[in-house]
Amino acid sequence: MARLGLFARGVVYLLVGWLAVRIAFEGSGAQADRQGALQEIAHHTGGFIVLLAMALGFAGYAIWRATEVVTGDHEEGAKKWGKRAVSAGRAVLYGFFAVSTAHTALSGRTGSGSDHTSKQATAGVLGHSGGRALVIAAGAAFVIAGVVLAVRGLLRKFEKQLRTGQMSPGMEKAVAAVGVGGQTARGVVFAVIGGFLIDAAVRYEPQKARGLDGALRSIAGAPGGKALLIAVAAGLACFGLYSLAEARYRRT
C-alpha cells in the first residue's frame, strides 16, 4: 500500500511537470498542481479506477508514516522526535490527499487549487494577532526546507533510503540522476513559495501568497522565464520518475 502511494505520487509529479511545460509554451492551461493533475486523470477513460487506486495508495502511505510515529527509528534524543514529527505531518498530509483524491474519483471535481488554498490560509492567519509573524515563520520554513531539499538532492542523501544493491549499474545511475534533478527542482519551488509567503506577510496582502501553480507561473514571468520553467518542469518530472523508482526500491 505504501509503495502504491509512492507510485501515485510519481504519477502526480509527472503530470504536474507536463502541465508546467504547457504553461511555458501556451501561457495558460490547467492548474499545474496536484488538483490539476487529478483533474487531468479524471477526464480520461478509466480515470475513475486510476483515481481510486491512487486514493488507496495515498491512504496506505499515510498509514505507513503513522506507524513510523509509533515505532520511531534507531535515532536517539531530539533527532528521533524530529523525525517522528515529520512522519506525523506526512501522515496527515497524505491522509488528506487520499480523501480528496477519492472525492475527485466519485464526483469528478477537484477541490480548491493550491493558489486559492494558500491565499485563503494566509488571509486567515493574518487576521489574528501575531499572524504576520506566523506567516513570515512559515515562509522562512519553506525557504529553509527548499534549501535542505536541494542540498540533500545534490549530495544524493536520498540513496540511503534505497536498496541500490538490487539495481543494475545503469538503473542506479538513472535513479541517481532523476533523484538529484527532482529534489533540486522541488527545493527551488519550495523556496519560491516561501518567498511569496514572506512577501504577503510583510506587505500584509494575503493575495500575494502563491501555491505550486502560482509559483510555477511566477517563474514563467521572470526574465528568461520560459527556459527556467521548462527546466523546473523537467525537474518535477524527474521527481515523478524518482518516485516510481522509490516505489520499487524503497527500504521499508
pLDDT digit string, tens, across residues 163-195: 999 999 999 999 999 999 999 999 999 999 999
Q: What was the pLDDT predicted at 240?
A: 96
Return the closest-CA partner of residue 114 out of 56, 183, 180, 36. 36
Residues with Cβ < 8 Å from 184, sequence gap 6 or more? 149, 150, 153, 154, 235
Q: Record the pTM.
A: 0.87
Q: Render pLDDT for 34-59 as a digit per residue (tens, 0 to 9).
A: 888 888 888 888 889 999 999 999 99
Residue pair 14/20 in contact by the 8 Å Cβ criterion: no
**Helix and strand numbers, DSSP H then E, in the chain:** 9, 0
